[in-house]
A and B are shown apart, each in its own frame.
Chain A
Amino acid sequence: MTSQEPIGTQSPDTGAYAASARAWIRGNLTDALRTDRAHVPGASLGDKIAFEAAQHRAGLVGITWPKDYGGHGLTLREHLEANREIGLAPMPNAVNSIGKELAGPIIMAVGREDQKLDLLPKILKMDHIWCQGFSEPGAGSDLAGLRTRAERTADGWRVNGQKIWTSGASKSQMCLLLARSGTAEDRHKGLMLFAVPMDSPGIDVREIVSIDGARSFCEVFFNDVIVDEANMLGAPDEGWAAATRVLSIERATNRMYRAWRFQSEIDHLVAACRSDLRAFAILSEYKRDIAEARIAVENLKGHVETLVGDLLAGQQIGPRGSFPKLYWSEAHQRFAQVAYEIVSRLPANAGQPLADLKARMELLYFSSRAETIYAGTTEIQLDIIAKRILNLRKAG
């Protein structure tokens, strides 16, 4: 090792965009919104929504979207700068990440101009929170097995079926719905995307409690829901084909702050343990694990920054988006396991900083279990790499 400097006395990002993002977060992230303040009563949903709308006005959100659609018309470079600062701060996860990082880019790719002008600004202003109605009880990894049907009517479509694991459905105004016009045997044929208002008659939402105690994901039932022709996104088949292309880029670029958030969790662990000699002694037993976690953070930055560089250079990234998703989810889970073990050993009379840490790391441990499941499980990412990157044969 050549450097003996303590980690993190690193120079802050000199980019102007990063500096203004940092200043804004400093001025606007209240204790109630912070994720490292378990002893402070948490912010309400309304407050979180207002905070997110303010982030957009301040230039932290919608950075790469065209100005015509409410965005800031900048590049992934500024997006990356802002996300470094977002990650380093103990900021709550976005309420409307599905809108901003999934529905929005898909609408941008396949929507009609009138749809873009109408729907996109509402996402950034937080008038429309979106949910993603893809998974079904019988169609998870094998999404092409979905059964939710859309039948033609005189002036639109009639939708029947059931979605599950629909994150945020109970607080959403809109659903990005994946349905089919034929039967489940058609597999990838006849798939259609719709923008469905959640207050449409016939939609029934039931919250599901998850292992971290949250009530975020839901079951969503569609009983004879009438969807206007105008709410179809792209033509049948085409919409879905374009959406999968968008999704592969999104997998690589969404939640770009993840490496820096991961770093900030390590920073929090170290800072809080340094407030108590007994805690620091426990932490010191895990020196090697902490080193591995910090290495993983830098590796993840490598994945993300290289992909951003390639995208800015106009390269296709294809299935490479699987790499950062797979790498982050597993490394982050390993850290969460170590952090959980450390906080589980803290003395009962530890002070406030350690109590706050304990709450955060216990939650992290449970919530991180989802990271290898959603957005394509670990096994599915490994299949993608084997098939589409290594091109491994299955038959002789």
Chain B
Amino acid sequence: MFDDLDPKEFEDTARTVVEGCADLADASARAAMLGEAGLIGVSAPESVGGLALPLDFAVPVVAAAGAGLLGFPLIESMVLAKALAGVNDALAGEIAAGETVATIAWVGVAEDGVVGGAPMAAEAARVLVFRADGSAVLAPLGNGVTAEVTAPLDVDAPEARITLNGPVEGIVLSAEVVATLRADATLLRTGFVRGSAERCLSLAADYAQDRSQFGKPLSANQVIRHRLSRDRLAIETMRCGLTRALGPVPGGDAALARDTAWLSSAKAGIAVAESAIQVFGGMGFTWEVPLHRHLRQMRAQASYGAAAEGTEALGARVLAGRDNDWYGEIAHVV
């Protein structure tokens, strides 16, 4: 159905737009530019002005955002535009068009009174807050729902803490809709990290070839070469895991493919950024070289996507498994 479209072209377009966004003053201006280019609504239905393309096409867009250190809650806007369609088409359309900036508080639930991990909430008009029963409320920021930015980790898309005074009012998304939204966000986040890590490796590979010590480029040394090869392997692993998770997963478990692609990318992306900082030496420790910004945004994503908790939880699931019928005859006592 989408045979004539190539996700790769979306990445090229997105890269140009993301570069353009870097010169803009605030999230609203970036929203307008991204919306104008049709990048926020890639996977939202046509009824809300989206392109109704599968997530395969949204992934390259967020990869470009990760590579380009985009100061915008793009993953959040994309999944909200898609999830709101059919619930509140008007708002979904505004988000897809870049007329309204919306974000998601990934950490905590409304019942806590304070939620966190809401990228760019300080510049957003609305924030989605999860509830303990799995549903969520998209609340207007302002009266009773206030955003506060204190020492953000991600300096490009600073996250805010949201204080909820009293019950949260707004558009309610059902637990079912929220589950899909989270699953979509997991895939997009994996793509974002892939883009960010890829940029770190390409910066490190260039630097290793340009900088000379002992009369030869750094890249002449096998330790440096092998380090970069391992980082390249990590990126290939992310790429393949994500490709698999995006497709039908014959003979496999699609949710598991998605979760493991994310959990492993979250960890590997951070490691690639750390490795690149090492290759840059003293330069790598400067604020000016953007590697720390990549590291920060990937660390922030790891926390939004609960990567550490997720790995623990996966371990518990594996230990609970009694799935392979070749070992079915072993009697279990636990």
Within 8 A of B (CB), among A277-321: 277, 280, 283-284, 287-288, 290-292, 294-296, 298-299, 301-303, 305-307, 309, 320
Task: Indicate whether A268 reaches chain B with its CB closer than 8 angstroms.
Answer: yes
Query: A326 to B230, alpha carbons, bound, how many Å?
Result: 9
Task: Indicate whether B255 reaches chain A with its CB closer than 8 angstroms.
Answer: yes
Within 8 A of A (CB), among B111-141: none
> Smallest CB-CB separation from B224: which chain A residue?
A392
Q: How far is the CB of A307 from the nearest CB of chain B, in Å?
A: 8
Contact code string B259-301 (vs A, CB < 8 Å = 1, else 0): 1110110000000000000000000000000000000000000
Chain A contacts for B236, CB-based, 8 A = 303, 320, 323
Chain A contacts for B256, CB-based, 8 A = 3, 7, 10, 298
Q: How large is the interface on B (under 10, 10 to 19, 20 to 34, 35 or more residues)?
A: 35 or more
Chain A contacts for B259, CB-based, 8 A = 1-3
Contact code string A14-34 (vs B, CB < 8 Å = 1, else 0): 110010000000000000000
Query: A55 to B45, alpha carbons, bound, how many Å?
Result: 49
User: How many residue pairs between the two chains, A and B, have CB atoms under 8 Å in the bound complex?
Assistant: 226
Between B222, B323, B333, the greatest number of chain A beta carbons within 10 A of the residue's beta carbon is seen for: B323
Query: A12 to B209, alpha carbons, bound, how many Å?
Result: 48
Q: Do A276 and B237 have beta carbons less than 8 Å apart?
A: no
Within 8 A of A (CB), among B276-334: 306, 309-324, 326-328, 330-334
Known contacts being A274-B330, A298-B257, A303-B236, is A390 close to B205, with CB within 8 Å?
Answer: yes
Q: Do A12 and B186 have beta carbons less than 8 Å apart?
A: no
Q: How far is the CB of A193 from the nearest CB of chain B, in Å?
A: 29
Chain B contacts for A213, CB-based, 8 A = none
Known contacts being A10-B253, A385-B232, A389-B232, is A290 close to B315, with CB within 8 Å?
Answer: yes
Task: Indicate whether B8 reaches chain A with its CB closer than 8 angstroms.
Answer: no
Chain A contacts for B229, CB-based, 8 A = 381-383, 385-386, 389-390
Task: Indicate whether B251 reaches chain A with its CB closer than 8 angstroms.
Answer: yes
Task: Indicate whether B87 reaches chain A with its CB closer than 8 angstroms.
Answer: no
Chain A contacts for B86, CB-based, 8 A = none
> Beyond A323-B240, A385-B229: 12 further Cβ-contacts under 8 Å?
A2-B255, A2-B259, A8-B321, A268-B324, A287-B315, A287-B316, A292-B311, A301-B257, A323-B236, A323-B237, A394-B217, A395-B220
Question: Nearest 7 A-B pairs (CB), nearest first?
Answer: A8-B323, A13-B251, A287-B315, A291-B315, A10-B253, A267-B324, A271-B327
**Can you pick out 20 interface pairs between chain A and chain B where the beta carbons lie within 8 Å of each other?**
A1-B313, A7-B253, A8-B323, A10-B323, A11-B253, A13-B251, A84-B251, A88-B324, A267-B326, A268-B327, A291-B311, A294-B318, A298-B261, A302-B242, A302-B245, A302-B257, A303-B236, A390-B232, A392-B225, A396-B212
